[in-house]
Structure 1
Amino acid sequence: MNIKRNSMLRKSILSLAVMASGSNVQAALLEEIVVTAQKREQIASDVGIAVTAFSGEQMKALGLESSTDLIAFTPGVSLAGDIGGQRAIFNIRGVVQNDYADLAEAPVAVYVDGGYLASTQAQTFGLFDIERVEILKGPQGTLFGRNATGGLVNTVTARPTEETEGYVEFTHASFDQYRLETAISGAITDGVRGRLSMLGNQQGEILDNVYQNGVAPDTREGSVGGGEDGYNDDTKAIRGQLEFDVGDKGNLLLSANWAKTIKSEGPYQFVNTTEVKDAAGNVIDVIYAKDDALGCDTIQVGSCIDGNFNGDPNRPVQGGDFNGNIDPDGSGEKVNKDFAFDDQNEIESKGFAATFTYDFDNVEFFSMTDYKSFSRVIGLDSDQTASPELIFQSDGDIDQFSQEFRLSGSTQSTKWVTGVYYLNIDTDYLQGLAGSPTAYYLGGLEQNSVVEMETDSYSIFGQMDYSLSDSLVLVAGARFVQEDKSMQGVVLTNANTNDRDIEVDYSATPSETYDDDNNQNLWSTKIQLEYTPNDDSLYYIGVNRGVKAGSFNAPLGGGFGSYDPEELLAYEMGAKLTFWDGAARLNTSIFHYDYSDYQSFSWVNNAGVVFNEKAKFTGAEVEVFLAPTDGLDIMFGASYIDAVVEDLEVASGYFEDTTPPFTPEWQASGLIRYSWDLTSGNLAAQLSGSYQSETYHNARNYTAHEIESHFKADAQLTWKDNDGKWSVIGFVDNVTDSDHEIIGFDVSGFYGNSQISYAKPRTYGITVRRDF
């Protein structure tokens, strides 16, 4: 297909920074968006995959600061996570496993510059000095392999340049946010180029804590020094690259990166909830406490029972939690938290990579050696209230090393790629609960699950595109994986000497020990037909077998064990069309996923485990991009999914078909942008919005687990000078000040409430950028 076709659409949409899924547009000031979705450079609209491509310039225009901000503009993709959103992960087409344990890997693989991020904590990172981001929907196991049953997010940073260039960008926004981003790039000497990029972000507290220690309704002494305001950010990051020419046909890129973030404890709030039990004591529903006229701790067969074993089956305050707490303003910015510190959580990452390519005329050789290290210390209040009860704590260290060798080439009728891949992941992890001296559960004690897990994964893979005719291509590929996992774990209990810090007594006698292997031989494959009758259309249909390795459960309080690999057969067909003389584009796809051993994460009272289930997902996506007149651009996208996990055991002996967590049935997004020339430059006004229907934050889908549907709108005004050196963006995020729920965890059985995080309130800001 001719990459110069549809120039009108390319120039209009890209120059106005309108994101396009699978877009193939070119602006006068921007390069063509090229993706590497099939381990080679291609225009996105030439790829028979549902792929969304964002250029760095587009992301700036859309006001995207974090990796997960991309979700609002990508139909079929939603947000999951924990720690109030401090750890956020991608859910593509309902494929999600929101296990918060550091030993868990997500079913949506995330790569940065070709390097896999094993830690789900590392998937939330600041976007700075980025060339492009690609979001690939559907299994990508053949070429990328690693746990990519749901899809893949590939971030490519800006590389060193021969010409000296750089920029400085400064943002000031609500809640005392100050963000500085800068980069400089250029030749150091003949055949050697370098690039240095830096990011700093400071944001003050959003949540106003009205906590007063030791007052009604709970007069117990709280955490020492607690009660601080929360929902802040202090992030610093730096990335350095050196690129060397190796002869006339070789290239070596050396890169290093470091980032550190310090935040408050997770920005949860609480909603009071009540467990409903059957006669045998099984929890069969969770409802809102305000809807229980009797004010029960727990409802069992219509009667109140004592949920916190204090001798009283009723709550001290109607609609309150077990200790009488009620949120001071519901979903507003006021909170009443005991365990609250503005510097509680710390996340640090660093990495080093060497990428070497050499062109042997008809064959290209590729090698990537990659090392990454992640560490985090996390603490948060399990009940999110003024009562000193249980503190959740987690401390994780992950070191990973990978090596990939790849060969690729082409003939008159064939394009092919083959390679081998090795990955080692070494995880040291502990998580526990610390009970205050007066807590009814674990009073004065800490209970920690301490785990060491090691993964060795070996892969061989290949894929071939064979031209059956000038317009018909057969794509076939396969990957074989040997995955060796081992885990050792213990559960230790000791005195809680400091509520804020983890202090494990390793000399204590374990209440549980575990030592086991979970070795597997896995395979994935792909076969697809692609039909291009002309330069303005691509049709594809195929079947994909994806696989995600099995692993281990290491829940709070013990109960270690393993679970099986996840296997998926994905059937998909789609089209990418351009019409109206290049002024319109349509991308559409339909899919059906048939799972065996779907890895479903179920959460019950401060502990979660993964079970293997059967599941079937069916859905469709459509995206339309229009440039009806000069200066006016319109984008619309929508998705539908019917995702069912079959016969999930929601309570002992109760089996229901459920919807996977954080998987809305409907999603839609839209953007309209109009620009006009001024004497001093160009001015553009942009309005965007996104909608998602109701979903659940818990696999059991109980009444109080529902996250209601919501709509979020953003607006901005952008000015650029005639020389393209200066730009100023004024923006308003969350124009309607929507307070919709984002992430939740049910702890009704412990405290009579659930943890909920809400969207950031309306935010105003201005960004000034100078390119040189």
Structure 2
Amino acid sequence: MSKPSTAARRALHPLALACALALPPLAHAQSAPAAEDPAARKAVTLDAVQVTAERRVENIQDVPIAITVVDGETLTAYDAAGEDVRVLSARLPSLNIESSFGRAFPRFYIRGLGNTDFDLNASQPVSLVYDDVVQENPILKGFPMFDMAAVEMYRGPQGTLFGRNSPAGVIRFSSARPEQTFGGYARLGYGTYGTANLEGALTGALAPTLSARVSLLHQRRDNWIDNLYNGRGKDLEGYRETAARLQLLWQPSDTFEALANVHVRKLDGTARVFRAGAIAPGGNRLAPGLRRDQVSLDAANTQHLDGDGASLRMQWDLGRVTVHAISGYEHVKVYSRGDIDGGSVYVFPPLLPGQALFPAESADGLPYHRQLSQEVRVESNDWGRFDWQAGAFWFNERIRIDSFSYDGFGGPQTGYATQRQDNTAWAVFASGDYDLTAALKLRGGLRYTRDSKDFTAQRVTGPFGPPIAPIHVSPRGSNLSGDASALYQLSPATNVYLRVATGFRAPSVQGRLLFADASLPASQLVTVADSEKVRSLELGLKSQLWDNRVRLGLAAFHYQVRDLQLTAVGGDANVARLVNARRARGQGLELDLEAQLTDALYVTAGASLNDTRIQDPTLAVFGCVLDLCGVRDPANPDPARPGTFLLDGNPLPQAPKYVANMTARYGVPLAGGELYVLTDWAYKSSANFFLYESVSFRSRPMVEGGLRVGYSWQDGQRELALFGRNITNTMYATSGIDFNNLTGMLNEPRIWGVQLSVKF
């Protein structure tokens, strides 16, 4: 992406984009140097946004996919309060992110497609690619964002070039690359609850052909929630997270480069706080008297994570073609223990905050994880009207999951179960584009994938049942997916496109045996979801307006999913199992808007409408315990499945119908620098927490806002800012647990703070 001129930086500091919520914004503004005559000075305009959605650098306007881009400097404002990747939720059209595992395990949903599964081998239909390496395990998807060049979100099936479980779309993180010129930055923020955020990077030449970049992040927050059960004092929701990255870029010639990346992550703190009775009976409002900074839990709470990884990306320019090779290694260990019932008082029925039916304290661990991946890709170098790329991909992951149950606050272990999974996949793919005329470009591609899993689960000791002997399954799946599109240039500033695409998610396995009924058949103890396949149609428009001061993106889409993989969690049966819905469909509209309204005022806006439906007249799951949540779905008439409810016609879980966001930044020159005010707001409508519809387990509409007031000087090399996140201190439930009571989990609290940034 091109950089703004010095004059433009004075008029629009990069943090103008700082809270851009919506779209491919995040292009900086630029202008010509100021002339002596103000009337002769050119208006500030928007730079072109370069993306790699098709695995080659292109102008976002020329790519026939709905894309939202957030550059590295825009993320500065978001993570000033020590936020993790969930901060992007509702700040990009059609994107929702939530977690019952805290910072360690985010769950992504694009256009309503996602996965509520909390198991440590959960398969998600949103693929996350970090520095060109797919992050398959859900724990890997929580790696922090720091020293980023850009975040790109590609909506819709990406079954050709990003084919690893991507039927909903891809989120792609790209770190800033090493440079030969010495430079770097340091950024220190401090705020409410002892929230600290330190981020920095150094880059420069080690030799004429070798450059390096070292990046560091440290985030922390003091415990700020008082557990009333063990007396006064702050006990929960604190964390210490450190991540670092070292990159070495070797460029011995104009035709070859190798970029090596080594990264580590360490997280220590408390697990997600579950709050018994957080949701008031008979509605979805928070219970009266619920306090964000108080709970009463009679179980231990802790979370620890250690991860590391490495990659090597090489490319050879052979003249007519360029060869790319990407090798990746990832490893992570995690242990998380918490009070699952979320309370300390056990009554029948549990109706008030802190009340539950029975105690439940458990832990999950990932003591062993190893992921290897390899991709080789060949792309043509400007073959005229026709360009192409083709390649092969290989992936292998081995994991072991341990599950534990405990008795009381720090009490003895009462149960232990384990799962092992070995997953191997390979694929071959090819894609090409052809300029049929000067105005009409055609694109298309195909990918063949083969996926196999070997999975074993057993319960060694049960908290209230006998051991369960090892159960072994080996699901296999293969698929041919692809895409075809046409992009037509209506004018030099406006393109329209039509895209048809398919995607594929390999078979998934779920085998949480710790609390399972040992008398059930093996097929109900270890469940397998068949391959999921999606077909999508998208029509879009991309335009640059008002002398390149406004960028507009519009998309309309419709998709059908066959054998949709869903996870039935909790409920009256206290089980977690995979199911396939025969079909599901989604349709909607999306808007991305970025505008430099005046030289001083920059705004962005984004919005989406997602209408989703499960289409399966026989699919049924258990509802909440004792129907405390008020299930709205019809009871299943099948006498073989008493206590279950039919799901046909329900929207997908965690799929808000409406998402909207906006930012506005106003800056004025002052004393050799710039004083600016930036505000951002995000909205998402209500959504079901689970597969069934109920009165209580449904989020309420949410609005959150941010504010930043800053002063920058020395052409933006120095900056001091005051910031606030969730400035209205909105409190709402983001998700729930339904097997024991009306347990809920809350959004992040309000944080006020100050941040100092230095570039050099």
TM-score normalized by the length of structure 1: 0.85
Aligned to 1:725: 717
Alignment of 1:288-687 (within 5 A): 288-289=280-281, 329-341=289-301, 344-387=302-345, 389-396=359-366, 397-409=368-380, 410-436=382-408, 446-493=414-461, 510-556=467-513, 557-558=515-516, 559-605=525-571, 606-613=574-581, 614-647=583-616, 648-651=619-622, 652=636, 653=638, 654-656=645-647, 657-687=649-679
Aligned residues with identical type, % of pairs: 23
Which residue number in structure 2 is paired with residue 222 of structure 1?
none
Q: 2:242 & 2:548 partners in 1: Cα distance?
A: 43
Pairs within 5 Å for 1:210-249: 210-212=228-230, 229-249=235-255
Q: 1 CA distance for matches of 2:241 and 2:395? A: 29
Letter in 2 for 1:655: L
The separation in 1 between residues aligned to 2:341 and 2:136, in whole angstroms, is: 30
Residue 716, structure 1, aligned to residue 708, structure 2: yes
> In 2, are the aligned partners of 1:736 and 1:762 still within 8 Å (CA)?
yes
Structure 2 residue 750 is matched with structure 1 residue 766: no
1:459 offset after TM fit, Å?
Answer: 0.4
Deviations 1:272-309 (A, max 9, x none): 67xxxxxxxxxxxxxx54789xxxxxxxxxxxxxxxxx
Checking the alignment, whether the CA contact within 8 Å between 2:23 and 2:604 is kept in structure 1 is: no
The change in CA–CA distance for 1:3 and 1:329 in structure 2 (over 3 A counts) is closer
Indicate the residue corresponding to 1:22 in structure 2: 24
| Superimposed CA distance per residue, residues 76-122 of structure 1 (whole angstroms, 9 cap, x where no aligned partner) | 11123212565222210001112111111211000110011111122
What secondary structure is seen at the aligned counterpart in 2 of 1:175? helix
CA contact (8 A) 1:24 1:43 kept: no
- Pairs within 5 Å for 1:138-217: 138-212=156-230
How far apart, CA to CA, are the structure 2 residues paired with 1:618 and 1:3? 37
Following superposition, the deviation at residue 744 of structure 1 comes to: 1.5
Tell me by how many angstroms 1:432 deviates: 3.7
Provide structure 2 residue ranges, at least 5 long, that are not aligned to the other structure. Answer: 32-45, 346-357, 517-524, 623-635, 639-644
Is the partner of 1:389 in helix, strand or coil?
coil
Distance 1:630 1:436 in 2: 62
Is this contact kept in 2: 1:350–1:372, CA < 8 A?
Answer: yes
Q: Is the 8 A contact 2:278 2:744 kept in 1?
A: no
Cα distance in 2, alignment partners of residues 113 and 481 from structure 1 = 22
Change beyond 3 A, Cα 1:327–1:229:
farther
Q: Is the 8 A contact 2:17 2:26 kept in 1?
A: no
Residue in structure 1 matched with residue 697 of structure 2 by the alignment = 705
Amino acid of the structure 2 residue aligned with 1:137: R
| Aligned with residue 54 of structure 1, among 47, 58, 70 | 70
**CA distance in structure 2 between the aligned counterparts of 1:291 and 1:363, rounded to whole angstroms:** 61
What letter corresponds to residue 332 of structure 1 in structure 2? R
Q: For residue 737 of structure 1, report the CA deviation from its aligned partner.
A: 0.7
Q: 1:228 to 1:483 in 2, by over 3 A?
A: same
The whole-number CA distance in structure 2 between the counterparts of 1:206 and 1:415 is: 56
- 1:340 Cα deviation after fit: 4.0
CA distance in 2, matches of 1:63, 1:289: 35
Report Cα offsets for 1:256-277 as digits up to 9, x if no partner: 000010111212222267xxxx
Aligned length: 690
1:73 deviates by: 1.9
Does structure 1 conserve the Cα–Cα contact (< 8 Å) formed by 2:240 and 2:267?
yes
Q: How far 1:248 sits from its partner (Å)? A: 3.0
Counterpart position of 1:43: 59
Most deviating of 604-613 and 34-43: 604-613
**1:239-268 deviations in Å (ceiling 9; x for gaps):** 111111133310011110000101112122
CA gap of 1:380–1:62, structure 2 versus 1, over 3 A, is closer
TM-score normalised per structure 2: 0.86
How big is each residue's C-alpha offset from its partner over 1:457-503, in whole Å with a ceiling of 9 and x where there is no partner? 0100011111111111111101001111111111121679xxxxxxx
Cα drift, residue 570 of structure 1:
0.7
SS of the residue 1:645 aligns to: strand
CA RMSD of aligned residues (A): 2.9
Identify if the C-alpha distance between structure 1 residues 494 and 228 changes in structure 2 by more than 3 Å, giving closer, same or farther.
farther
Tell me the distance in 2 between the aligned counterparts of 1:147 and 1:329: 43
Query: In 1, distance between residues paired with 2:444 and 2:172?
Result: 22
Distance 1:392 1:418 in 2: 47
